[in-house]
Amino acid sequence: MNELTIHLAPHSGTPLYEQIYRYIKENIRTGRISCGEKLPSTRALCSHLEVSRSTVEMAYEQLLSEGYIEAVPYRGYFVAEVEELWHLEPAPARDEKKREEKKPSFRYRFDFTPNGVDLNSFPYNIWRKLSREVLLDDRTELFRLGEPQGEYEFRRAICSYLYQARGVNCSPRQVVVGAGSDYLLMLLCSLLGRDHVIAVENPTYMQAYRLFRSQSYRVCPIRMDRRGMDTRLLEESGADIAYVTPSHQYPTGIVMPIRRRMELLAWAEAKRGRYIVEDDYDSEFRYKGKPIPALQGYDARGKVIYLGTFSKSIAPAIRLSYMVLPEVLCVEYERKLGFINSTVSKVDQLIMCRFLEEGYYERHLNKTRSLYRGRHDQLIAGLKPLADTCRISGENAGVHLLLHFDDGRTERELIEKAAARGIRVYGMSDYIVGEPGREAVILLGYANMPEERIKEACDILCGIWKRDV
């Protein structure tokens, strides 16, 4: 065989070598190219198809590795005996139809998700450089199981960062590294035991609420006032663990003032066995005034369990979170859970360790803050025509704000109007345990939307939401 008639599609999105590989593979499996038949040489085929020789070589190498062809020295490539090769059959057409039906039929032009992260600002070159440096060390130890709570040098770097940035006082012994906050909360549940009642803010971070419920806890939603979780209602609830997000409450955006933080600490210190779980959600982003230090920094009695993550400030796929335990719980953790290995690879920990220690994280945060501030300001400016229609809150920190409508319209009505114009927005009722209030509240996130698109989307929203005069 001197040539193969392959119709390549350079702009299809499928690499050319893969198109060649699939064509030959399918023809071998169906018998169109028979066993023992000689294939064109790589030089001849690349000339015939007008592609690079390396493209053909990659296709042949893949066929070789899967056993569809054989290379005979000084003679070329021949089709192998493939009758006994195992392969997956394509799924039936009806399954394909079912999968198609599950796909959303509508694609939004704009998505104001409050959970967005700007992935275009991810420091790819720096991360790639640090990855090479870590792997070039060529240490056998790098691929052995690491320390159960996380690599010591990484935990030490976390302690240094938290002290400087958030006023958290801790030692590496108190730090537990895990793949995401969900995993760390489940570890915490195993550490504390199930004989507790957990209070959560209402509205609340639903992921934490569902997780506590799944772990068989009795969970008490506590109504919030303008300062955060109402400590009077907390006392009346009978809860002995309070899960709070004081630096930037999700989803209301409330920044808990010092006085309320002291009230929470007083509640925890009033009885033995009470703890506060402080989730320092997106505390890095603040646009007015100086950041208030973490609640943990004021804790003198070992009552605060601190949770933090790098996922929100860098990228969601970087599952690097950490938990800081009070000294009193460290011994108990080592006794009950010290056998559990860290769920974050040693390589990833060491990359992030260098990212912290060499100042890249601080520079990345400064760049991201500036980027988000521009989008924040553009969103505020774009919503000005709605000043007599709704009230804005939660705009001083985080990466989303809230619009409060008290003109009788429902969240569903507002959301559907926006959806009809290709804009996805989110309602507060999705975060409320129990019956939502009468006021319609819309969440608008701006982290993953460029300023020009924010302006375009705001123009549309102002047109459809503005109260008729």
Residue type, 125: N
CATH 3.40.640.10 corresponds to the domain 124-360: yes
The pair of structure tokens assigned to 324 is: 């800081």
Bond from prior residue into 203 cis (ω within 30 degrees of 0)? yes
CATH class of the 110-119+363-465 domain in this structure:
alpha beta
User: Do 44 and 57 contact (CB within 8 A), yes or no?
Assistant: no
Domain extents in the chain: 1-95, 110-119+363-465, 124-360
Fold of 1-95: Arc Repressor Mutant, subunit A (1.10.10)
For residue 303, give both structure tokens: 């009552």
Query: Is the separation of the CB atoms in 356 and 157 below 8 Å?
Result: yes
Tens place of pLDDT per residue across the chain (469 aa): 556 778 888 888 888 889 999 999 888 888 888 888 899 988 888 888 888 988 889 888 888 888 888 888 888 889 887 765 555 555 555 555 455 455 545 688 999 998 878 888 888 899 999 998 888 866 677 777 789 999 999 999 999 999 998 999 999 999 999 998 999 999 999 999 989 999 999 999 999 999 999 999 999 999 999 899 999 999 999 999 999 999 888 899 888 889 999 999 999 999 999 999 999 877 767 766 666 789 999 998 999 999 999 888 888 778 899 999 999 999 999 999 999 998 998 999 999 999 999 999 999 888 888 899 999 999 999 999 999 999 999 888 788 999 999 888 999 999 999 999 999 999 999 999 988 778 899 999 998 899 999 999 999 999 999 876 4
Triad 178, 309, 143: Cα angle to 5°: 40
Residues 361, 355: Cα–Cα separation, whole Å: 6
Nearest alpha-carbon partner for 130 in 421, 289, 290, 350: 350
Enter the tokens of residue 366: 């400064």
Which of 338, 109, 69, 391 shows the shortest CA–CA distance to 226? 391
Report whether the peptide linkage leading into residue 251 is cis, meaning its omega lies within 30 degrees of zero. Answer: yes
Residue 2's pLDDT is 57
Q: Which of 349, 354, 351 is CA-nearest to residue 150?
A: 349
Give tens-digit pLDDT for 147-171: 999 999 999 999 999 999 899 999 9
Q: How far apart are CA 241 and CA 264, in angstroms?
A: 11
* Interatomic CA distance for residues 334 and 337, integer angstroms: 6
CA distance 189 to 205: 17
Q: What's the pLDDT score for residue 469?
A: 42
Closest C-alpha to 419, from 457, 390, 456, 384: 457
176 neighbors 337 (Cβ within 8 angstroms) = no
Q: What is the predicted pLDDT for the residue at 102?
A: 52
Residues 206 and 430: beta-carbon distance below 8 Å: yes
The pLDDT value given to residue 3: 66
